[in-house]
A and B are shown apart, each in its own frame.
Chain A
């Protein structure tokens, strides 16, 4: 019985994963439409600066609660460390992406 429940629930998890990925794709499409309404180069530059500032803020809010700011590791190491911390400290998906961008710039 337990085995059947586990198989059923794993299927639910996979379905929910596909659902999340599809929803993320839709969100990206909306962003593209919005971006086309303004000057592309200026928008990209401003977005990058804002994203960096937001990433720094999220870093201090999340990571700074437990430990001091580490120096920046190479990008491929940072990708692993942030994935580890996402699980360990239950950082939200949005925070994780912003922190990863900030820590690899």
Chain B
């Protein structure tokens, strides 16, 4: 744990107090839920899980205001189940960033390497999972669920994505359960120890997220909160919404986030063309996406911080149009065009690429 700031003693004491309270409240909540809620349904499935190497690979060409960048990406994910209650999981990220030098010549650049998460999950009971290690910060829904390149509807992340997301190092409690036939509830609460280690870099913070899913109308709503326990001790808030109507192949999603760095929102609709009466073979594999988003730079946001967090350094609006074609399960060709409006400069953003998800067993699969 890193205690390098000047007010080390006081900050660390407050951190321990806040973390202790967060842990205590989580366990009280989970204990109460275990007592009140019905136990799990029994299943007829008896196969033992096997370790898996999965993940995704992709290759993207981005053209921003006439400047071309090539980005090959690989995200290996290792899943190691242990017994009936444990899962060890980790994800790495290798992303190339290759461009031509200003004077011309061959493409060159660097490959960024990151450890997104490396965590041990203990499924304590049907309503509580305890996670220890490095995990994706549960803020909003994009970071944990929509980030993988084979899942996201548009190749580029939303402008507000860096707000309160990334990875945390510490302890997390989470779970989901049915409130009644019409509503499910899910929760996460966590604290993270700050570290400046290059591979395990994380901020010192506490936070939580609460979400509701209504299976009938297929609507999900949720709210997130995070408090930094270092420097400005700033708060961050977020809201997310998703709707997948049963009658049409539409996915409507939106997020709002606010912190001392800035605030903003995105709203996106992804529509599968499977209901069109012509060219059925092609149309059922085709998806069109529209996204509108806006970012309002915070008063504290300077150029250095904007670069560090990969946020726009001033207010920005952006509209994106995307077209995806699913070649087969887990493999798609993706393309998008965006127009960003900013006080500094307006710019066109073009992206085309291919994304693939793989999954390989690392053990005996038994009789098929």
Shortest distance from the beta carbon of B224 to any chain A beta carbon, whole Å: 13
Complex-state Cα separation, A37 to B178, whole angstroms: 28
Which of B29-37, B60-68, B106-114, B200-208 lies at the binding interface?
B29-37
Classify the secondary structure of A's interface with B: helix
Complex-state Cα separation, A94 to B277, whole angstroms: 38
Is A93's CB under 8 angstroms from B130's CB? no
Is A93's CB under 8 angstroms from B127's CB? yes
Complex-state Cα separation, A100 to B24, whole angstroms: 33
Residues of B within 8 A of A24 (CB): 39-40, 42, 126
Number of interface residues of A (CB under 8 A): 54
Shortest distance from the beta carbon of A25 to any chain B beta carbon, whole Å: 8
Contact of B89 with A by CB under 8 A: yes
Contact of A41 with B by CB under 8 A: no
B-facing mask of A68-92, CB < 8 A → 1, else 0?
1011011111111101101111111
Count of inter-chain pairs, beta carbons less than 8 A: 175
> In chain B, residues 1-58, which have Cβ atoms closer than 8 Å to a Cβ of chain A?
16, 19-20, 23-24, 27, 30-31, 34-35, 38-45, 47-52, 54
Given known pairs A9-B27, A73-B359, the reply for A93 and B49 (CB within 8 Å) is no
Shortest distance from the beta carbon of B135 to any chain A beta carbon, whole Å: 9
Is B51's CB under 8 angstroms from A80's CB? yes
> In chain B, residues 244-261, which have Cβ atoms closer than 8 Å to a Cβ of chain A?
244, 251
Residues of A within 8 A of B144 (CB): 88-89
Contact of A56 with B by CB under 8 A: no
Residues of A within 8 A of B242 (CB): 65
Shortest distance from the beta carbon of B188 to any chain A beta carbon, whole Å: 7
Is B251's CB under 8 angstroms from A2's CB? no
Shortest distance from the beta carbon of A68 to any chain B beta carbon, whole Å: 7
Residues of A within 8 A of B19 (CB): 2
Shortest distance from the beta carbon of A76 to any chain B beta carbon, whole Å: 4
Show the binding face of A for B, using Cβ within 8 Å: 1-2, 5-6, 9, 12-14, 16-17, 19-21, 23-24, 26-28, 31, 51, 61, 64-68, 70-71, 73-81, 83-84, 86-95, 97-98, 100-101, 104
Show the binding face of B for A, using Cβ within 8 Å: 16, 19-20, 23-24, 27, 30-31, 34-35, 38-45, 47-52, 54, 79, 81, 85, 87, 89, 121-131, 144-146, 150-151, 174-178, 184, 186-188, 211, 213, 215, 218, 220, 242, 244, 251, 326, 329-330, 359, 361, 363, 365-366, 368
